[in-house]
Chain A
């Protein structure tokens, strides 16, 4: 059949063009239908739900932005929000700085066994978040973990699962999981830099540190912005690690430890679906706005 259509379409290029254009739309359509049903529809439905409230008397009623007003005045929400914000400003810089150091070391050409280091440090990324949290939770524990041994061997008083330590302990788990991943993102960007630049810099007498700060860091700025955005999303959406550690440290992790944990517990323990939807929407908006600001500022600085 295609043999018959070919000559005619060659004579009428406009018909061919339309057919080609239709084929392009056809390739994209299945994905777009899925996106509409599985990404856009849930968001729209959650927004719709957030405008209603189910009361004991009177059933479900439209309350406009009532749930949002409640949320702004909800100390539990703010407590969870400030906690992930603290997590964000402490854990993310530490993790990304470590990733950057590792990536620069890999790229320095002064390292033995680059291939081994690259895969070995990346490996924790392949471990499911659930297993990572369980694993570290056991290690943190006093029963058969390593904490008791470290404490008795070194005379320390580590208590990773205590309320005042738990956020740092979760930060360590997240750092362990994503250090190597971010390292590879940075390393991939470093590999793309033209070696001509280094040679020119050396001719000008620039040392290794100068090359790092004047050539390498500016060149991978885009990757750093991407890693920061992913880390912001990860911090605001923190759920797996606190949810799993809750079983090991019930007194350290409340039902509103992070916004996502709060939304989850509102839905499943409290059946407050409307309010839960409100939490999810507000956190989605905050995450989106902050990511957008980082992206705009990051790329603007790059163009300067």
Chain B
């Protein structure tokens, strides 16, 4: 089997917070590599540092030390403007609480990343429709998030994450607010998306059973450290 080039490389990454006189080591000396097209599940108990690590990969936070490299770009060396561009073009994010804007319709929510990326207006409608078709919500295009079920809202969030055609999809507890059947359908959807050539998925979860069923590899964190790098399944 041919070794795929790494999409994400973490080299001795630490993220420490200073709280008064104490230092909280949210992430400490983590080195990890995720190949292109791989579906990695990041497991760990609450407060283990997995979400902090995901934020570092997303470019929402900067490491205290070490390097986060995504598709050859060292995020720790980027300016705030370059990080914003990276978030627009390279990564898509899905959150536990969906984070859809309640006053916008599905169409408008999914269109938002296209507005930020200054995609031409004439192109937007087709791309929004494609993304919603992919998550099978094209018939709910004019609805507001409050008119949808939890699973539908999360599928909308997935469509929003995909609309800018990112190379990396980052999901932070995407099934955390859903019942088990709906959660399973979301992971099935993520798995389908992963089949697109080059789509790398890093998912933070504490549901080991689901992770084992859908992810290519499991990495386990505890107390800010990487306990298990996991073998490719």
A, B: real partners: no
User: A residues within 8 Å of B by Cβ?
Assistant: none
User: B residues within 8 Å of A by Cβ?
Assistant: none
